[in-house]
Amino acid sequence: MNIHSTAVVSRDATVGSDVTIGPYSIVGPDVSIGDGTVIGPHVVIEGPTDIGKGNRVFQFASIGAEPQDLKFRGEQCKVVIGDNNTIREFVTIHRGTAADIGMTAIGDSNLIMAYCHVAHNCSLGSNIVMANAANLAGHITVEDHVTIGGMTGVHQFCSIGCYAMIGGASAVTADVPPYVIASGNRAKLYGLNLIGLERKGFPAETVKALKEAYRLLFRSSLLMKEAVEKIKKDMPSIPEVNHLVAFIEKSERGVCR
């Protein structure tokens, strides 16, 4: 353990082995930091917050502060962060409120670049990239392997499906389906994230099926409900296509078109 002499670490915090805490950082009570995590200088971590193993938190980040929600009444909600995440300068990650999942949750191996904001009750999966100054309002769900471009804002209660890519400086006000590219203010769809799918090693038959499903859903004359039914009836059962259809069916805000 390497805690700088100027750091302030609460006696009620739990700090694992091989943890580094830099100069002038503050770790409050009810904070847990897993083995091998590096906390840079001038970082503030308030509890309740659980941070896993092997994370890197850069200078001036703020984790676990009270949510920016007028309905918040001091309830004991928390931030939970997994393993091997990189959280860059001036990132803010706020605690949850008592609504829905009751916490703010971040998975593993995510890159959250400088000046990003993750608001209360957001649920982020793993292997996500949030570029500089991307901002998530409250109650947002982001599935695995999503890329969010810099200076993009996502409206509260939106969901972003796995392997989606959102262009920089976008304004997302509806759900973004998995496997697609979305961009603009307001964000619109620009086809499948074909380069991303290729880089992740998706089989050619899967990509072909996703292309056909995308065509039926977003580029045909069919109503969305009709397209969903046609996919279920006529297309072979492929997990990625099934996930795309299920995402659309459970969308409450409606999806980008």
Q: Same structural domain for residues 89 and 206?
A: no
Q: How many other C-beta atoms can be found within 10 angstroms of the C-beta atom of residue 8?
A: 14
Q: Same structural domain for residues 96 and 16?
A: yes
The pLDDT tens digits of the residues spanning 11-21 come to 999 999 999 99
Using DSSP bridges, classify how beta strands 38-39 and 20-21 pair: parallel, antiparallel or unpaired. Answer: parallel
Q: What is the share, in percent, of the chain residues with pLDDT greater than 70?
A: 100
CA distance 5 to 136: 35
Residue 256 has pLDDT above 90, yes or no: yes
0.95 cut: is pTM over it? yes
The verdict on residue 144 lying in a domain is: no
Residue 129 has pLDDT above 90, yes or no: yes
Q: Same structural domain for residues 134 and 201?
A: no
The verdict on residue 53 lying in a domain is: yes
Q: What is the pLDDT of residue 64?
A: 98
Q: Same structural domain for residues 100 and 209?
A: no
The verdict on residue 149 lying in a domain is: no
Q: Note whether 256 and 184 are within 8 A (CB).
A: no
**Mean pLDDT, residues 235-243:** 97
Q: Same structural domain for residues 10 and 114?
A: yes
The verdict on residue 161 lying in a domain is: no
Q: Same structural domain for residues 31 and 115?
A: yes
CA distance 94 to 138: 9
Q: Same structural domain for residues 17 and 94?
A: yes
The verdict on residue 61 lying in a domain is: yes
Q: Which residue, 123, 139, 155, sits at the end of a domain?
A: 139
4 confidence band (pLDDT: 50, 70, 90): very high
Residue 1 has pLDDT above 90, yes or no: no
3-state SS, residue 168: coil
Q: Same structural domain for residues 243 and 134?
A: no
- Residue among 12, 63, 69, 73 nearest 40 (CA): 63
The pLDDT tens digits of the residues spanning 141-159 come to 999 999 999 999 999 999 9
The CATH number linked to 53 is: 2.160.10.10
The verdict on residue 38 lying in a domain is: yes
Residue 236 sits in which domain range? 197-250
Q: What is the pLDDT of residue 21?
A: 98
Q: Same structural domain for residues 208 and 126?
A: no
The CATH number linked to 220 is: 1.20.1180.10
Q: Which residue, 119, 139, 159, sits at the end of a domain?
A: 139
Q: Same structural domain for residues 113 and 225?
A: no
The verdict on residue 66 lying in a domain is: yes
Q: Same structural domain for residues 13 and 84?
A: yes
Q: Which residue, 121, 139, 157, sits at the end of a domain?
A: 139
The verdict on residue 22 lying in a domain is: yes
By CB atoms closer than 10 A (0-12, 13-18, 19+), residue 81 is buried
Q: What is the share, in percent, of the chain residues with pLDDT greater than 90?
A: 100
Q: Same structural domain for residues 96 and 218?
A: no
92 confidence band (pLDDT: 50, 70, 90): very high
Residue 50 has pLDDT above 90, yes or no: yes
**Could you give the number of structural domains in the chain?**
2
**Mean pLDDT, residues 20-46:** 98
